[in-house]
Structure 1
Amino acid sequence: MKPRRLLLGAALGLFAAVSGTVTVADAAETPVSRVDWHACPQYSDEVLRMFMFPRDIPGFRKQWARVQCGKVSVPLDYRKPRGRHITVAVTKLPATDPAHRKGSIAFNPGGPGGSGYLMPTLVTVFNPGNQALNKHYDLIGFDPRGVGYSTRSTCRYGPPASVPPGGGPITKAQAQEAYDETARKNAECARSDAAFLGGLTTTNVARDLDRIRSALGERRIGFYGGSWGSWLGAVYRSEFPRRTSRFWLDSAMPTRIRMDRLEADGAKATARNFSRMAAWMAERHKTYGFGTSGRVVEAAIARLVKSYDAAPRRFSDIPERLDGVLVSDLASRPSPEWPRSAHALRELRDATGPTAPPAIKDMYSGPQGPPPSGPDVPQGFNMTMAVATLCNEDEGPRDFASWWAAYQDRQKRYPVTGRFTQPTPLCAGWPLPVRHPRLKHSNASAVISGHRYESVTPYEWSRELHSAIGGSLQTVGDDIHGGVLDTPECAAKLRDYFATGRAPGHCKGLPEPTTTTRTRPMPSPSPTDILSPLTRRL
């Protein structure tokens, strides 16, 4: 459980621009494309340990040996199909029962900026039950434009120098400096290749997916997308309803993208889920000692936030000072992490130094030195693609004053989790035009699954998307962002849907924990470990 530090403006925004929203007639078939197949990259054990437990490596290698890898050429600007082209990287895990093959299912893990290249293999390794999907379907992975093995660009982003980690509450002057730094970096990035960065849009990724469908020789294509991947699936389904097979959209996005609204809704949902965690801790007062009611626990942890903000702690074996944002982060975790988070909160409360308590030290421990690098290291996440795609679609305000005022309001509304929110607009200074995909209601098959208690993409967004585009709404009774593929009961319903086309009933999801839970590494490096609190939400 690595601590995720608050990255202000320069650690950016998430959702953004459609460079040229062009209506594509679904009746007009996409020009014939082809996949240029080539040998797949091979990965060392050291690299694979970045993505999985060592016990999963043999299963990955067995599946990866069956994978086919290739690239598809697509127009940078679909208004100029004979102009500049870029390439999109594709993987295919062929159906194990080709005689009864039903088609292809493409996967996207979210982001934007997340790589789907390894996803077909990983979803069948991390949950072996998902291998049933691969019996009658080819499973398709791809890196969206701007990511991984696809054509990409890299701008220099990082935490703003004006806000040192562990320095206590952010001042208005520091936030203003961070805002100015973000605006400068965003403007520099956009100028580096405006044509390419302006083409990093959800609509263009959807059109690229349709080129992949055509190149694979499929009349229709199935799809699974989580988080931002649900938004991609909704846009594809709106653009190409007659080329849509069975779509499953997990942890759905809302119907329009306003960064200020995403932050506000996410902050409210995070506080709501923390109340569940506080009640869970109260039931275990003998273990954690924060109080015997949820309200008492919330008040005690609010005092802990204030204490660490007023006097950030330094331990001799931790490289940075710890302030209230760490406490707020621990209180913002999903239920599988409650035992470890509650244990860490107890240690922070009781810490006397000079060395860090064991649970806190464990959070900061890990491989020393830089991660593996070289040609065999896949890029799990591309920050530049995230910024461009998100900021081009952000329809909300980007001025410093309104964001700072909203941040101050959240500190009052949510005294525990509000400290772990975003005080500046993540798309400050992004100069490219703002356009937005147009969603359309249709009768094409789709399941939208919303997790009742999650905070990354609040349940209300799934209901909103369902009302806008149609399909079937499935309620998952947990707080696990994008967790359908990893939850046995829910994954079984997903597999049945792709096998039969029948809309599934609701599923309970993961139960609240009773003992320490061991969590699996993310299938790929996730924006949730890299970006700001707001970026966690997508």
Structure 2
Amino acid sequence: MRIAHATAATAAAALLTLLGTAPPATATTRPAGPPATTARPPAPIAWGSCPDSTADTRQQCATLAVPLDHADPTGPQLDLAVSRITAARPDQRRGALLIVPGGPGNPGLNGPTNAVRRLPRSVLDRYDLIGFDPRGVGRSSPVDCGLAHDDLSMTTLLPWPAPDGSVTGNLAAARRIADACTRNGGPVLRSISTRNEARDMDRIRQALGERRISAWGVSYGTYAGAVYATMYPDRTDRIVLDSNDDPDPSRVERGWLAAYATGAEDRFPDFAAWAAAPAAGDQRLADTPQQVRDLFLRLAARLDTAPLPWPGANPARLDGNALRAAMLDTLYDDARFPRLARLMLAADGRAELPPAATPPDAAMQNTVAASAATMCNDVRWPRSADGYARAVAADRTAHPLTAGMPVNVMPCAFWPTDPAEPPTRITPDGPSNILMVQNLRDPATPYAGALRLRAALGDRARLVSVDSGGHDAYAAHGNACGDRLVTRFLVDGRRPAHDTLCPAEH
């Protein structure tokens, strides 16, 4: 759910992990495995220029037709936007590295452009970097629920309870969003799921003319990558799963939202230590990390009852839940620590409020719709209002930083149909060609979930654990040990003989 990057819009996308529609109805169920199909392989991709002027000049783009319903391969098609940057050394080329974006709901068309700025030369020499916008996202037949401005607020989309713990407002918002997606989403929204994303990934492989494909999945992309490797094990080459989701097939996205409670607790001490250190300078908040934590909880409680005007925010105030949402965003990357410190100083009357960094509504609409569709079409959510209220009350006590939000109601509780097929159960069946890399203190995909994916994959995988905080691990936070092991795997195919812990580096 996952997904966090350097801009406000993508940070918001990373936090948007669930949304839905009305009372339940029974849906048809497809077989669990890849559908039997007599469809001809797709035609080779006709590469051309990219529509985005910010893309690397080496990046090429194209459109690939994929079935709206893979069980009906000759039926209606949708357009999938794909991209590539070819291997820098054709004489050393190994194959294609598919970059699987996070979210769910994040675009990936400029994945190759972003990757060439991060990956080492030895990887760029050997792989064509392949990007794509998942179905319903970006330029791939985009979906839109037509949500009202107020329902695009991060304190609405993530279901922060009322200051007294009430979930009444969350229930109303979840139903409203679900109804809008049902009314406006159309057939593409109804087709979005992780299993269909895996099927689309395999159509990309076929269109590239690759017998097997390598992949680098980050955040939600680790789950999509693991599902692909489970559905099509013989079509995988080298698979890197970075910042890993818990694959529990009884919960999947429900579990990911709940994991924010433990993820925040795992990661907040890093922020607190930074904010208590003299090196924080004029952004130092207190003398000890415990004082920083106490201050955060005290300020959030104060803002619950006495919010501050915050022009440009949605809604235009800094209340307790807005501070909590900013805290979650901050924990993705150390570089964001100063912004949360400034917010806390302003809430404490010691500084001016920084400008609000609110993504425009137009940028949010597609992300929210695609995220909602994936979450609600992948797994059935509980329908009991009383059950959510009880869960929130317990979680607020156990995890005060997140105040009950991670177990609260989402629009999926009001989605009109059950999933068309059950979630994928990840198994050890298949080649031993997966390398996982994971920060120990990841706020969005906590370490405990990565351990469960590692156990599910068995000997198919090895796990490189990195003593670091934040989201994204490979080529992201400068840990030379972790980066070296992943690069060696992509270049030479060598994995550690055993799971490995890389120490912290400063």
TM range (shorter): 0.7 to 0.9
Amino acid across the alignment from 1:41:
C
CA distance, structure 1, for counterparts of residue 291 and residue 133 of structure 2: 47
Alignment of 1:160-309 (within 5 A): 160=150, 170=162, 175-190=167-182, 192=184, 195-256=187-248, 257-284=251-278, 290-309=285-304
CA distance, structure 2, for counterparts of residue 165 and residue 305 of structure 1: 13
Q: Is structure 2 residue 43 aligned with structure 1 residue 34?
A: yes
CA displacement at 1:365 relative to structure 2:
6.3
CA distance, structure 1, for counterparts of residue 78 and residue 43 of structure 2: 14
Given that 2:271 and 2:337 are in contact with CA atoms closer than 8 Å, whether structure 1 keeps it comes out as: yes
Given that 1:267 and 1:421 are in contact with CA atoms closer than 8 Å, whether structure 2 keeps it comes out as: yes
Larger deviation: 22-31 or 218-227? 22-31
CA distance, structure 2, for counterparts of residue 245 and residue 224 of structure 1: 11
Amino acid across the alignment from 1:440:
T
TM-score of the superposed pair, with normalisation by structure 1: 0.77
Amino acid across the alignment from 1:328:
R
CA displacement at 1:161 relative to structure 2:
6.1
Task: Note closer, same or farther for the CA distance 1:225–1:162 as it changes in structure 2 (3 Å cut).
Answer: closer
Secondary structure at 1:255 match in 2 = coil
Match of 1:456 in 2: 444
Given that 2:100 and 2:216 are in contact with CA atoms closer than 8 Å, whether structure 1 keeps it comes out as: yes
Task: Note closer, same or farther for the CA distance 1:500–1:379 as it changes in structure 2 (3 Å cut).
Answer: farther
CA distance, structure 1, for counterparts of residue 383 and residue 256 of structure 2: 13
Task: Note closer, same or farther for the CA distance 1:15–1:274 as it changes in structure 2 (3 Å cut).
Answer: farther
- Structure 2: state its 5+ residue gaps: 1-5
Which of 385, 410, 415 lines up with 1:425 in the alignment? 410
Secondary structure at 2:428 match in 1 = coil
CA distance, structure 2, for counterparts of residue 316 and residue 195 of structure 1: 38
Please list the CA deviations of residues 244-283 of structure 1 after superposition, one character each: whole Å capped at 9, or x if unmatched.
Answer: 0000011111112355433332212202322343244334
Match of 2:321 in 1: 325
TM-score of the superposed pair, with normalisation by structure 2: 0.81
- Structure 1: state its 5+ residue gaps: 49-59, 352-356, 512-538
Given that 2:95 and 2:128 are in contact with CA atoms closer than 8 Å, whether structure 1 keeps it comes out as: yes
Amino acid across the alignment from 1:306:
A
CA displacement at 1:18 relative to structure 2:
11
CA displacement at 1:339 relative to structure 2:
3.6
CA distance, structure 1, for counterparts of residue 232 and residue 20 of structure 2: 21
CA distance, structure 2, for counterparts of residue 444 and residue 273 of structure 1: 31
Secondary structure at 1:350 match in 2 = coil
CA distance, structure 2, for counterparts of residue 106 and residue 483 of structure 1: 17
Please list the CA deviations of residues 131-181 of structure 1 after superposition, one character each: whole Å capped at 9, or x if unmatched.
Answer: 432211111111111112222322123565699979x97267984244234
Which of 135, 142, 154 lines up with 1:145 in the alignment? 135
Please list the CA deviations of residues 184-215 of structure 1 after superposition, one character each: whole Å capped at 9, or x if unmatched.
Answer: 43234235566433321111111111111111
Amino acid across the alignment from 2:221:
G
Which of 307, 313, 317 lines up with 1:312 in the alignment? 307
Please list the CA deviations of residues 325-378 of structure 1 after superposition, one character each: whole Å capped at 9, or x if unmatched.
Answer: 243345442233234423432342134xxxxx34x32x42699xx69x9xxxx9
Given that 1:146 and 1:152 are in contact with CA atoms closer than 8 Å, whether structure 2 keeps it comes out as: yes
Amino acid across the alignment from 1:452:
L
Given that 1:398 and 1:425 are in contact with CA atoms closer than 8 Å, whether structure 2 keeps it comes out as: no
CA distance, structure 2, for counterparts of residue 238 and residue 201 of structure 1: 15
Given that 1:73 and 1:87 are in contact with CA atoms closer than 8 Å, whether structure 2 keeps it comes out as: yes
How large is the RMSD of aligned CA atoms in angstroms? 3.8
Secondary structure at 1:452 match in 2 = strand
Count of residue pairs the alignment pairs up: 473
Alignment of 1:491-502 (within 5 A): 491-502=483-494
